[in-house]
Amino acid sequence: MEPLLVFPDPPPPLLAQTLDLAGHPWKAVSNAAVAAQSEPTDGWAGAVVCAEDDTEAAFGICRSLRKRDATVAPTLLLISGAQLGELELREDLFDDFCLSPFHPKELEARLRHLFWRNGKGTRPEIVEYGNLVLNLETYQAALGRKPLDLTYMEYELLKFFATHPVKVFTRAQLLSRVWGYEYYGGARTVDVHVRRLRAKLGEEHANLIQTVRSVGYRFGQARLPGSRSESTEPVDDA
Amino acid sequence: MRQQLDYVLRTVEERGVRFVRLWFTDVLGFLKSFAITPAELESALEEGMTFDGSSIQGYSRVQESDMLAVPDPNTFEIVPWRGDDAPVARMFCDIQNLSGEPFDGDPRYVLKRNLDRARDKGFTFYTSPDMEFFYFRSAESPEPLDHAGFFDLTHGDMVSDLRKQTILMLEAMGIPVEYSFHELGPSQHEIDLRYTDALTMADNVMTFRLIVKQVAQSQGVYATFMPKPIQGAFGSGMHTHLSLFEGDVNAFHDPGDPYGLSQVGKHFIAGLLRHAGEITAVTNQWINSYKRLIIGYEAPTYVCWARNNESALVRVPIPKRGKESSTRIEFRSPDPACNPYLAFSVMLAAGLKGIEEGYDLPPEATNNIYEMTPEERHAEGIGSLPQSLAEALEIMESSELVAETLGEHVFEYFIKNKRKEWSEYTAYVTPFELDRYLGTL
């Protein structure tokens, strides 16, 4: 799960505590520039912006989140009763608001509802590619109706591939994005796991993961069929 | 780590797994297993399961016998042979003392310790063993399947079915293979495991031996990894391909060298050659192992290296064009009845020693080693591998390298256990003696 953007930095202690207890990862930012810099690769899960102390800066953040190509949604605004008038003509900058001081349960419920409306959160996240189905909630993968028996790292690698189809990744990229830490296997681990995944996917589906010679791997079909420098042959380096 | 635990717990729940088998290995390389229920799983993952180690070969200690088996969630796999209605899963365990320290007698820990040493030098160690084995009609006598009239299956059906099932099951367990059919010995087969890091590979070898035996049993036959089951036929080896990588660069490869070998690769081979005698008791740990290491059956007997000589101890296969980075060396003495954790440990340690000390690689062996007189071989500096378990133990006992690699606990237990085996053997009057001596003496 990607983190929520939280403003300001540091956030009010009760807000931090509520998010932690509800199990939402989050990251505090002090302005729009920091928000852009520290954005996770797959984007923010959403934003909780507290307007109590510095209303102008808070709306500034909201605006910057809305202006981008991929807007950050949902955005929840925390605002005191005395500031309600400020919301006028700014309806487009947030998805919902919550009166501050807030009740932790209310904040949690509003977030849950926002995520649900945005198709994130409480509904099981399902990733599908052809007849490969991954349920990110239950960690289960299946081909057609048949469940795949995967180890944790095989599952993580398949999940990464299935959520980033068609793009070509180098071994180093896969190692840092999927493993992210030093592993007994070293850099060759990627090849080894791809081979194991192919074996488990079975002959018919083994070419879901394609070797792009002297670059790395790609999941699924390329946009341009027949383009050069690609191969469905597993490269055997042993 | 938390996520890995979640993955295991969630999968057990979702798939309705009834039992989780916890696997570990004793010092002699036998797979040990006990089952826990899903209810016990979470605490097993977090705290380990207490068990009595006194009945495990090489685990016993005078003071305390209770120890902990801590499952490695990375190794969680659904075991494919139990059917889908009540799936069973397995995990390999690390063994700890009750205090939470790794247990010195755990072969998996011995290998991890040695892999850490390699990693400190920037190396990752990969292995790829060629597993040879025989199918027999039963464990009672080495009777090949080749005789017609076995049940109502013909030999060909039986073998291709065994082969198909074994491969499917291995792949389902995440062990990719290359299969090659052997005609050298009757009913002998070879399955080559595709390379992976040495720890995973040692786990894979343990799984492999179990799967091969289970599939055979399900067909009413018996599979054995005994190194030399039939006198006068080829034995079963576990030729092991070795390579070191620095990051994703093959440390053994040098495009400018006529052999394609880097200095690191040459030192590694030199290390294996120089310490070959010392590590043989570990790579060939049974009395029967030495019945395989004789002249005439493509098993190595002399300590030398060559590019294309099936009898050399170390072979440097010539990489295919365009696959130069697959440069590797093949160590040909180990047999498939070894403890893979310990065998990989000593191979790595011998090679690393060669790198550390910068040993010089002796010249490549010429093809006529067997025609040379012992004096000529001596002049060329070509030694012999130990010819019996007793000789191998004697050399091992004075080896600092092996003592350090295995650790005091395993080293002492191993020597003691194997000496006992040898002394039992020496008391045994063999059919050879009866045949030869009874009628003449």
Interface of B with A in 28-57 (CB under 8 A): none
The pair phi, psi for residue B8, each rounded to 5°, is: -65, -50
Cβ count within 10 A of residue A55 = 14
Query: Would you give the end-to-end CA distance of chain A in angstroms?
Result: 36
Q: Among B4, B9, B11, which would you mutate to test the A interface (most chain A Cβ atoms within 10 Å of its Cβ)? A: B11
Residue B134 in this model has a pLDDT that exceeds 80: yes
Output helix, strand, coil percentages for chain A, rounded to the nearest 5. 40, 20, 40
Residue B48 in this model has a pLDDT that exceeds 50: yes
Give the list of residues 6+ apart from residue A233 with CB closer than 8 angstroms, or none: A211
**CATH homologous superfamily of B2-103:** Glutamine synthetase, N-terminal domain (3.10.20.70)
The span from the CA of A126 to the CA of A140, in Å, is 10
CATH 3.30.590.10 residue ranges in chain B?
112-432
Based on DSSP, count helices (H) and strands (E) in chain B, helices before strands.
13, 17
| Complex ipTM value | 0.72
Residue A48 in this model has a pLDDT that exceeds 90: yes
Which chain B residue has its CA at the smallest distance from A181's CA? B1
CATH 3.10.20.70 residue ranges in chain B?
2-103
Residue A150 in this model has a pLDDT that exceeds 50: yes
Q: What is the pLDDT of residue B152?
A: 43
- Tally of domains in chain A: 2
Q: Is A15 in the same domain as A106?
A: yes
Is the CATH number of domain B112-432 3.30.590.10?
yes
Residue B278 in this model has a pLDDT that exceeds 90: yes
Q: Among A1, A139, A171, A183, which would you mutate to test the B interface (most chain B Cβ atoms within 10 Å of its Cβ)? A: A139
Q: What is the pLDDT of residue A186?
A: 66
Q: Can you give the residue range of the structural domain that contains A199?
A: 151-219
Q: Is A8 in the same domain as A110?
A: yes
For residue A176, give the DSSP letter.
I
Is residue A102, in this structure, part of any structural domain at all?
yes
| Average pLDDT for B210-223 | 92
The continuous run of DSSP H or E covering B39 comes out as helix B38-47
Q: Which residue has the higher pLDDT, B156 or B342?
A: B342
* Shortest alpha-carbon distance between residue A124 and chain B (Å): 14
- Confidence band, pLDDT 50/70/90 cuts, at residue B44: very high
Is residue A125, in this structure, part of any structural domain at all?
no
Is residue A199, in this structure, part of any structural domain at all?
yes
Q: What is the pLDDT of residue A122?
A: 46
Q: For residue range A96-123, what is the model confidence (pLDDT) as tens digits? A: 999 989 999 999 899 888 887 776 554 4
- Confidence band, pLDDT 50/70/90 cuts, at residue B95: very high
Q: What is the pLDDT of residue B433?
A: 95
Is residue A141, in this structure, part of any structural domain at all?
no
**Closest alpha carbon to B337 in B408, B268, B405, B421:** B421
* Shortest alpha-carbon distance between residue B367 and chain A (Å): 26
Q: What is the pLDDT of residue B14?
A: 86
Is residue A133, in this structure, part of any structural domain at all?
no
Give the list of residues 6+ apart from residue B75 with CB closer than 8 angstroms, or none: A151, B90, B91, B92, B203
Q: Is A8 in the same domain as A95?
A: yes
Q: Is A99 in the same domain as A45?
A: yes
Q: What is the pLDDT of residue A228?
A: 42
Q: Is A8 in the same domain as A112?
A: yes
Is residue A41, in this structure, part of any structural domain at all?
yes
Q: Among A154, A192, A197, A233, which would you mutate to test the B interface (most chain B Cβ atoms within 10 Å of its Cβ)? A: A192
Whether the ω angle into residue B374 lies within 30 degrees of 0, i.e. cis, is no
Q: What is the pLDDT of residue A34?
A: 87
Is residue A10, in this structure, part of any structural domain at all?
yes
What global pTM score does this model have? 0.78
Q: What is the pLDDT of residue B107?
A: 97
Residue B150 in this model has a pLDDT that exceeds 80: no
Q: What is the pLDDT of residue A92?
A: 83
For residue A170, give the DSSP letter.
E
Q: Which of A187, A196, A237 sits opposite B323 (nearest CB)?
A: A237
